Structure 1
Amino acid sequence: MSELDAKERNDLSSKQFAFPKERKEPLEDASHVRNAIARFDQVKGVSDDERDEAWKRIKAAAKKFGVEVSEKSWRELGKS
């Protein structure tokens, strides 16, 4: 995965994060999208509504970068 240094991360628009208010889980490329999915349940201090919105952003980024996501909802993560 391409790692973002502090300056690169700070330069990102809030819209480029799964959780924009918290600036958690950047969605810059396919690798970051896969990481956001894998770490989704580790994000603390967010409501279910914020998770629903983050999942929409992740799904859109996954489509953009060609990442296959079989789960329809974040609630399905880890249930396979």
Structure 2
Amino acid sequence: MAANRKRSGTLDAAERNAMSDSTFAFPRLRKEPLNDASHVRNAIARFDQVRDASDEERDEAFRRIKRAAKRYGVEMTETSWRELGKPSRTMKSSDKPRTPNKATRNQPRSERSRDDVYAEAKRRNIRGRSAMTKAELVQALGNR
């Protein structure tokens, strides 16, 4: 059972309590353990969610996370703790949520892109949409 827990990156209360304070990004608060690559990635993603930490503690936590990232081979592009937990500055336009403009919404579904038809299916909560072709999406939307 312990082997499964290690693979999934979870810690139970006993394991967490057995860890030394220095294993955490925020030792005083015992927040964000840095005992493996999965926890380091989690600490990076959730850094801005930690409450009751001073700027000095955040500076130290950032240094701890950088050291742990290097130790466990986690790529880290942020240069300041103020960037952690925030969306990437280099978000591609294809990553942004698609909102069809008025002209697109007025087109017949068969003339729209699959992404636009899929976005409508998602808004309308069509089940199984991710496995559907454009034609199947159009048919599913037409029946509602």
Q: TM-score range by the shorter chain?
A: over 0.9
Q: How many Å separate the matches in 1 of 2:53 and 2:36?
A: 23
TM-score (norm 1): 0.96
1:51 alignment counterpart: 58
Give how far 1:76 is off: 1.9
**Structure 1: stretches of 5+ with no match in the other structure:** none
Superposed structure 1 runs of 4+ greater than 2 Å apart: none
Identity %: 66
Q: Which has the higher contact order (CA 8 A, sep 6+)?
A: 1
Aligned to 2:26, which of 9, 16, 19? 19
Larger Rg: 2
Query: Over the residues paired in the alignment, what is the CA RMSD in angstroms?
Result: 0.9
**Structure 2: stretches of 5+ with no match in the other structure:** 1-7, 90-144
Q: How many Å separate the matches in 2 of 1:75 and 1:41?
A: 8
SS of 1:55's equivalent in the other structure is helix
Q: How many Å separate the matches in 1 of 2:52 and 2:14?
A: 24
